[in-house]
Amino acid sequence: MNFDRHRRLRSSAVMRDMVRETALSKKDLIYPIFVIEQENIRNEVPSMPGIYQLSLNMLHEELRAAYEAGIRAVMFFGIPDEKDACGTGAFIDDGIIQKATRLSKELYPEILVLADTCLCEYTDHGHCGVLDDHGHVLNDETLPLLVKTAVSQAKAGADIIAPSNMMDGFVQAIRGGLDEAGFSHIPIMSYGIKYASAFYGPFRDAAESTPGQGDRKGYQMDPANRLEAMRELESDLAEGCDMMIVKPALSYLDIIRDVRNNSNVPVIAYNVSGEYAMTKAAALNGWIDEERIVMEQMISMKRAGADMIITYFAKDICHYLDKGAY
């Protein structure tokens, strides 16, 4: 018979390892952590089993667990005691993200700290920018507040600024503000390709950032649009972003591949809360093999072109990798 024998390269585990095209390692992982501005709090997020809101005095335990697992990059999201119309808690020097950053740098200076740069967790209306009298988000009036937030985070010791607000011109504004403040060495990891997705629901429970009115479709991207992502990419690259996030990940693997094919900056997939919650729920019901499913999901993101993955599964993945089966 005259046909190709593709199975020759699948005959044993050693053979499969030798010809494997895509690999996942601990250095690819970024671990999100929710920090709350209250004492002695370790609240499990109901829609995200295994993920917690943590007080500063509880944060050291989570950082130690992450570090010992092999994680070397974390992203902080803050839950303040008080909120107001302009999100003051995001940019004050003693804000919760700033405190968490300083603590992390004191305890584990080897861990890279990524600071989520947005206002939604700090505004009393839950939107990512300031509002006019009719409830519309004001793009240009929001930019100076984002600059203040980024500079305050850099002053606190953040290694990477990760703006997630989706205001037009946010990368240019933040780059200029950081440079002027003496932080030209701090890179920007832009969430410039961020879709208005239903997969964010559990995150909004965890970060307490659900909009009080309306939605974010006016500034986040339409899930139906593919070419628009390339326009966002071009703008952010021109404005000075150093790395590009695609969010969410699993339903947008085609976009990750497009970004990889059309840029030479590092590409990051955000494995978002809804993706985590669905996998966890199925696993807890005994419907799937959680470890195998998670690793297959991660490989799909890497295969699509992601260099790094922001994922709530980061600690679990480190333990899976330690077993040597991947």
Binding residues for Zn(2+): 118, 120, 128
* Catalytic entry in 83, 247, 280, 315: 247
Cα 215 off chain centre by: 20
Confirm whether 247 is a catalytic residue. yes
* Catalytic entry in 83, 99, 148, 194: 194
Confirm whether 99 is a catalytic residue. no
Nearest CA among 280, 94, 101, 245 for reference residue 171: 245
Question: Within 10 A of 217 (CB to CB), how many other CB atoms are there?
Answer: 11
Please provide residue 54's backbone torsions phi and psi, each rounded to the nearest 5 degrees: -125, 135
Annotated binding site: 118, 120, 128, 204, 216, 232, 273, 312
Query: What tokens were used for 34?
Result: 């929710």
Residues 33/62, Cβ–Cβ less than 8 Å: yes
Query: What tokens were used for 52?
Result: 């917690």
Helices 139-156 and 170-180: crossing angle in degrees, nearest 10, is 40
Annotated binding site for 5-aminolevulinate: 204, 216, 273, 312
Residues 149/155, Cβ–Cβ less than 8 Å: no
Residues forming beta bridges with residue 46, ordered by sequence position: none
Angle at 217 between CA 211 and CA 223, to 5 degrees: 125
Nearest CA among 134, 131, 268, 123 for reference residue 208: 123
Pairing of strands 160-163, 308-311: unpaired
Helices 56-69 and 96-107: crossing angle in degrees, nearest 10, is 50
Annotated binding site for Mg(2+): 232
DSSP string across 156-183: HT-SEEEE----TTHHHHHHHHHHHTT-
Active site residues: 194, 247
